[in-house]
Structure 1
Amino acid sequence: MCDTDHLEPNDGMSRRGFLGMAGAGTAGAVTAGLGVGAGMADPALAATTGVAGASKDPDAVDYEAPSGLAKDSPAKATALGWIDRGDQDIVGLNDRIWEYAEPSLAEWNSALAEAEFLRKHGFTIEWGAGGLPSTFVATFSNGSGKPVIGFSGEYDALPQLSQKPNSTQHDPLVYDDDPYAPNYGYGHGCGHSALGAAAAGAAVAVAHAMKRHRLDGTLKFFGSTAEEQLVGKAYAVKRGVYAGLDAFVDWHPASGNSASWSSSNALRSIAFNFTGTNGHGGSPIGNKSALNAARATALLSDMIREQHVDGTARLHFTIPDGGAVPNVNPSLVGIWFFVREGSPERVRILSEKIVDCARGAAIATQTRMSHRTTAAAWNMVPLQLGAELMHDNMRQVGPPVFSEADQRYGRGLQESVGVEPTGFDGTIGELKPPESVYTGGGSTDVADISWNVPTIRMGTAGIPTGTKNHSWLRTGATGSHAGHVAMVAAARYLAAVSVDLLTQPELLRGLKEEHAARTRRTRWRSMLPDDYQPPVHRPPDWFLERTQQSWPPRGITWPPPRIVAREKYSPIGPDLPPANIPPKE
């Protein structure tokens, strides 16, 4: 039983909570400039770092994660038993999506595979949730239909991360041998094929348990597009797709098996486009180089790092197309930035400085600049009780069991990149309180969900310790036997927690109370502009036909406005007389 008295909203605060609200360290160096009271930290950041209270005081030196939250029950046994019997179906779903390796916003086959898996097990499918064509909501309901538990499915791959499974050296499965710009194909370098497959397997397992044991409730599985570009969920939350949930359970492939109640960085994705003039590279005078404008923006962004980029921030960019050949001056070049900070307001301030960098670059190169927000996401609202419930279930279910062959593979991956060869983590990590001072990190569009719905997250060791996500190592491991082991373990943890939420109403009540306590000082409002048009690709006709969608969906303008260069050559003044002819008196 959870001691929910500690979850009641109140003005009392632990030492850790006080530090979060008072703004200790770099994460709290935010006062009147953010429009909040002097001496008061940004409330959106404080909500995610201060402790609102839970079943155990994390400030205690001898903090130990509680036990007894996870309960054995016939329904949980049924759910876990279904996963044991159906693990190869879950593996097969992962492997199909892994082989498709489709990019963000174009996951046509992957989305269909995930939706069809759920449909075969009694879920109804609604396509185009929120307006993006490769998204769907799968729903299963029993009895009264309450409570409503959400699951997260993702299925987009990353460019240039193709890799053969089970190879301990970089060996791309897809290789483009362009003699001027060789390239690798797409690969699941963030493990989203496993993420969606495990969550779908867990949802089906819980549905079987609900039917057999007559449990009331509704399960909603959200197939989401373009997580790698942080587009899908934030846009769907803005359009109300996640409304009505009582809790949301989520996971992500990791290098360890653990739960936590840490936060994430908020993010704004900005696409800048510069237009100039075409011209021959051998006759450059008077040309206006869009490539130079993009390069100047990058340089200026580096120049502001010392004085304007805090330790919590992350600032990175790419130039997707800098020109095809050296002897054609490109008249259209873009540069794409991710601006990350600890809260939406900190992101806003830093991103406007990057916009100023682009404006300055356009002035200096006499090009024209346009920009748009392509995605934006809040920082994550963590829940201590949720982490404790997940951790207790992970201990109850047990860690993933890797074979010696799995461990040889893991050690080989580690050796290939110079990491200590310890293999895959076969333990359940200790649950530790987050640091009282936030130091920055990655971002996720799950964060927007977390401000609206109590959200529980965890990770399993689908990649060896010390290796990095968004790498070819993750792609290979996700398609390997070791990756399958970690993925099936994730399905078991998600299912176990979900059954507890359905059978222990006091846990769900406690999650809601902690969530209310954390978010009561901050009103969530989408970071996306009111006139936001999401980046989209037109689906192929066969996909529209199979999913019974029309094009364009409501709220999306098609075709999007074109960006066309109409600049004039840059004047350099009157012609000068030849050097060997003196001017007339």
Structure 2
Amino acid sequence: MPPLHRRCHVCETDHIEARGLSRRDLLGLLGGAGAALAAGPALLADPAAAAASDLALDPRSAPSSSGDYEAPAGLALDSKAKDAALSFLDRQSGRILGLNDRIWEYAEPSMKEWNSALAEATYLESQGFKITWGTAGMPTAFVATFSQGTGSPVIGFSGEYDALPGVSQEKGNPEHNPLVYDDDPYAPTYGYGHGCGHNSLGAAAAGAAAAVAAAMRRQRLDGTLKFFGSAGEEQLVGKSVAVRAGAYDGLDAFVDWHPGSSNSTSWGSSNAMYSTTFHFHGTDGHGGSPLGARSTQDAVEAMAMLTEYLRESSMAPSARMHHAVRATGVQPNVYPTLSSIWFYAREASPERAKVLMDKITRCAEAAALATGTRMETKLQGAVWNKLGNKRGTELMHANMVQIGAPSFSAADQRFGRALQRANGAPEDGFPEEIADLRPPSPVFTGGGSTDVADISWQVPTIQMGTAHEPPGTFNHSWHRTACGAASPGHVATMAAARYLAGTVVDLLTQPAVVREMREEFEQRRSQVEWRSLLPSDYRIPLYQPPAWFLERTGQAWPPTAEGVEWPPRRLVQTVPRDDLGPSVPPENQPVPQLE
């Protein structure tokens, strides 16, 4: 079967076909639990994982296996409003792709998306949306609103625009050629790039929101559109903070997309995740005189080693654990006083992710004990597993089929095959079909994470992806960056805008579907009490904006919002040199006799 698109942190669950096992047979395997009712919602030991499975729905109406499922026909309706929205996208494609390319060129880090956020908001403002900056205290987050008539229903769009470190690449080049290259003779580095396609994600969603607003004006449709410009998705910060602040309250449906390697949609889940940095405090010193030093570099290396021992017996198939050393020694003869290592712990539910992060934390404590350093932690972010919506996904898939798959030129396909060749993958180019809609496997085997997941527990949420990169290449890589402002990325971006716009027009004009989505959402949530994973003392990882950005957006600094601490607490040395015991006398001095 065709592969699903991959999301950045992100990602919908894989469609894994359980051969020879029915849905009933696998009922007890979900999340390692084994209790369920013959009818009604499944009651499992892990309610969050169960809610994201079709086992949470009425098993009498659920297919017994993926082979029994057939996507319903007739959900996507032809209408003058949909025609108006799609025609708008045809006329506006130059502006939308110009926005796409501009954000690709900015390639700004998470929580520092000054130019990118402003470009997206400025486009929406030109299309009649009202902009409110600084959502939940995050300067580069905003909400753009368009409303007409009764203002109901209220549909949300998702916009992102942050880039990734180390994946800079020339557009349209299938051979590695970073645009930004720091030629440090000791440690060359590559610059930031859109290796997750957020330039396209935000541009397509903004174009779709503008297209639906134009159709609403033309056909006098009631409703409200809310476009959420989200900061720091790559660090899984922006949406979870905004959800906690109530930014997404009052929505009837939420639509999202992500660049991928296929044209597909799913109502599967994702991994919950905890993101934590571990700071080790030690002593400074000279590499030629190391005695008594408490090495923080030793501490991060020891922690990385200890966590590897978790993989054999402490990690389920759905678990993922990975890290990056963010700061440590930069010269062999200088001991670093402070070293930091950053860990992600992903699992099928918040409870399971917390258990895994607790084990990682114990490894940090052991490393600090062994090296005589002092360790402290900082929670950077935490998100739930995603709650899919079958009915909404069926509507999205119907629109994808109705509108049709993207068509790539011969030059696009040559470029795609060259990228695949560079990555050692089969050279079959970009897919030009809509993947069949299949139910997710009842056994969740893990994957990426997304802060859209926190939204999905507040409002029925639909996600899809388009072939923005060829299969066999990887997300978060220079291959994706190469596609983002090139012709294939443009094709995928405009296809995504059409799918989003068509689906939202149907949501505005088919109240029965919105009602069915809400009923499914409430049924999935019936056994779960959602609460933010961010504790009351959580501090948002903020950077001070440049003065010109504050002036352009009308914001003051620092913001008055929960989780804002400015200036942030400084980490300074508080650890003395290690005690080696009594000094050993020089060789020419008599050794004291022991009694």
Instruction: Using the TM superposition, give the Cα deviation of residue 304 of structure 1 relative to its aligned residue in structure 2, in angstroms.
Output: 1.9
SS of residue in 1 equivalent to 2:368: helix
Match of 1:577 in 2: 585
Instruction: Using the TM superposition, give the Cα deviation of residue 372 of structure 1 relative to its aligned residue in structure 2, in angstroms.
Output: 1.3
Match of 2:556 in 1: 550
CA–CA separation in structure 2 for the residues paired with 1:278 and 1:435: 53
The RMSD of aligned alpha carbons is 1.7
Match of 1:140 in 2: 146
Match of 2:15 in 1: none
User: Aligned runs of 1:109-128 on 2, under 5 Å?
Assistant: 109-128=115-134
Match of 2:576 in 1: 568
Structure 2 alignment gaps of length 5 or more: 1-20, 36-41
Match of 2:48 in 1: 44
Instruction: Using the TM superposition, give the Cα deviation of residue 63 of structure 1 relative to its aligned residue in structure 2, in angstroms.
Output: 1.7
Match of 1:274 in 2: 280
Q: Structure 1 residues 584, 538: CA separation in 2 closer, same or farther (over 3 Å shift)?
A: closer
CA–CA separation in structure 2 for the residues paired with 1:199 and 1:54: 35
CA–CA separation in structure 2 for the residues paired with 1:584 and 1:357: 42
The 8 Å contact of residues 274 and 290 in structure 1, kept in 2 or not, is answered as yes
Matching residue's letter, 1:563: L
Match of 2:308 in 1: 302
Match of 2:107 in 1: 101
The 8 Å contact of residues 285 and 293 in structure 2, kept in 1 or not, is answered as yes
Instruction: Using the TM superposition, give the Cα deviation of residue 581 of structure 1 relative to its aligned residue in structure 2, in angstroms.
Output: 6.2
Whether 1:339 aligns to 2:345 is yes
Equivalent of residue 83 in structure 1, options 72, 81, 89: 89
Q: Structure 1 residues 538, 16: CA separation in 2 closer, same or farther (over 3 Å shift)?
A: farther
User: Aligned runs of 1:211-360 on 2, under 5 Å?
Assistant: 211-360=217-366
User: Aligned runs of 1:496-535 on 2, under 5 Å?
Assistant: 496-535=502-541
Matching residue's letter, 1:41: A
* Greater Cα offset, 319-328 or 187-196: 319-328
Instruction: Using the TM superposition, give the Cα deviation of residue 565 of structure 1 relative to its aligned residue in structure 2, in angstroms.
Output: 1.1
Matching residue's letter, 1:433: P
The 8 Å contact of residues 55 and 66 in structure 1, kept in 2 or not, is answered as no
The 8 Å contact of residues 54 and 62 in structure 2, kept in 1 or not, is answered as no
Note the alpha carbon deviations across 1:325-367, whole angstroms, 9 max, x for none.
1110001000000110000000111111111111111111111
The 8 Å contact of residues 407 and 424 in structure 1, kept in 2 or not, is answered as yes
Instruction: Using the TM superposition, give the Cα deviation of residue 57 of structure 1 relative to its aligned residue in structure 2, in angstroms.
Output: 3.7
SS of residue in 1 equivalent to 2:418: helix
The 8 Å contact of residues 19 and 50 in structure 1, kept in 2 or not, is answered as no
The 8 Å contact of residues 54 and 514 in structure 1, kept in 2 or not, is answered as no
Matching residue's letter, 1:415: R
The 8 Å contact of residues 501 and 508 in structure 1, kept in 2 or not, is answered as yes
CA–CA separation in structure 1 for the residues paired with 2:592 and 2:576: 33
SS of residue in 2 equivalent to 1:543: helix
Note the alpha carbon deviations across 1:167-219, whole angstroms, 9 max, x for none.
11011011000001100000000000000000000000000000010100000
The 8 Å contact of residues 16 and 50 in structure 1, kept in 2 or not, is answered as no
Identity %: 57
Match of 1:461 in 2: 467
CA–CA separation in structure 2 for the residues paired with 1:459 and 1:490: 7
Instruction: Using the TM superposition, give the Cα deviation of residue 55 of structure 1 relative to its aligned residue in structure 2, in angstroms.
Output: 12
SS of residue in 2 equivalent to 1:162: coil
The 8 Å contact of residues 30 and 42 in structure 1, kept in 2 or not, is answered as no
* Greater Cα offset, 305-314 or 500-509: 305-314
SS of residue in 2 equivalent to 1:452: coil
Instruction: Using the TM superposition, give the Cα deviation of residue 502 of structure 1 relative to its aligned residue in structure 2, in angstroms.
Output: 0.3
* Greater Cα offset, 317-326 or 158-167: 317-326
Q: Structure 1 residues 19, 110: CA separation in 2 closer, same or farther (over 3 Å shift)?
A: farther
SS of residue in 2 equivalent to 1:88: helix
Instruction: Using the TM superposition, give the Cα deviation of residue 18 of structure 1 relative to its aligned residue in structure 2, in angstroms.
Output: 5.8
After TM superposition, the score normalised by the length of structure 2 is: 0.92
After TM superposition, the score normalised by the length of structure 1 is: 0.94
Whether 1:382 aligns to 2:385 is no
Note the alpha carbon deviations across 1:364-423, whole angstroms, 9 max, x for none.
111111101110000000111111111111000000010000000000000011111101
User: Aligned runs of 1:414-433 on 2, under 5 Å?
Assistant: 414-433=420-439
Q: Structure 1 residues 198, 19: CA separation in 2 closer, same or farther (over 3 Å shift)?
A: farther
Match of 1:7 in 2: none
Match of 1:438 in 2: 444
The 8 Å contact of residues 133 and 539 in structure 1, kept in 2 or not, is answered as yes
CA–CA separation in structure 2 for the residues paired with 1:102 and 1:28: 41
Whether 1:158 aligns to 2:187 is no
Q: Structure 1 residues 527, 143: CA separation in 2 closer, same or farther (over 3 Å shift)?
A: same
Q: Structure 1 residues 19, 532: CA separation in 2 closer, same or farther (over 3 Å shift)?
A: farther
Match of 1:58 in 2: 63
CA–CA separation in structure 2 for the residues paired with 1:276 and 1:322: 11
Q: Structure 1 residues 308, 467: CA separation in 2 closer, same or farther (over 3 Å shift)?
A: same
The 8 Å contact of residues 174 and 419 in structure 2, kept in 1 or not, is answered as yes
Q: How many residues align?
A: 563
Match of 2:7 in 1: none
Matching residue's letter, 1:42: D
Matching residue's letter, 1:110: S
The 8 Å contact of residues 275 and 342 in structure 2, kept in 1 or not, is answered as yes
CA–CA separation in structure 2 for the residues paired with 1:304 and 1:273: 21
Matching residue's letter, 2:285: G
Instruction: Using the TM superposition, give the Cα deviation of residue 274 of structure 1 relative to its aligned residue in structure 2, in angstroms.
Output: 0.5
The 8 Å contact of residues 75 and 209 in structure 1, kept in 2 or not, is answered as yes
Matching residue's letter, 1:378: W
Note the alpha carbon deviations across 1:51-86, whole angstroms, 9 max, x for none.
415997433533211110000000000000100111
CA–CA separation in structure 2 for the residues paired with 1:584 and 1:342: 64
SS of residue in 1 equivalent to 2:256: strand
Matching residue's letter, 1:479: A
* Greater Cα offset, 549-558 or 246-255: 549-558
CA–CA separation in structure 2 for the residues paired with 1:549 and 1:409: 44
Matching residue's letter, 1:322: T
SS of residue in 1 equivalent to 2:68: coil
The 8 Å contact of residues 271 and 373 in structure 1, kept in 2 or not, is answered as yes
Match of 2:4 in 1: none
Match of 1:10 in 2: none
The 8 Å contact of residues 53 and 514 in structure 1, kept in 2 or not, is answered as no
CA–CA separation in structure 2 for the residues paired with 1:235 and 1:584: 65
CA–CA separation in structure 2 for the residues paired with 1:569 and 1:19: 60
Match of 1:202 in 2: 208
Q: Structure 1 residues 70, 39: CA separation in 2 closer, same or farther (over 3 Å shift)?
A: closer
Instruction: Using the TM superposition, give the Cα deviation of residue 39 of structure 1 relative to its aligned residue in structure 2, in angstroms.
Output: 8.7
CA–CA separation in structure 2 for the residues paired with 1:234 and 1:30: 31
Note the alpha carbon deviations across 1:219-241, whole angstroms, 9 max, x for none.
00000000000000000000000
Instruction: Using the TM superposition, give the Cα deviation of residue 29 of structure 1 relative to its aligned residue in structure 2, in angstroms.
Output: 4.6
Instruction: Using the TM superposition, give the Cα deviation of residue 23 of structure 1 relative to its aligned residue in structure 2, in angstroms.
Output: 3.9
Matching residue's letter, 2:317: G
* Greater Cα offset, 137-146 or 40-49: 40-49
Matching residue's letter, 2:276: I
The 8 Å contact of residues 33 and 44 in structure 2, kept in 1 or not, is answered as no
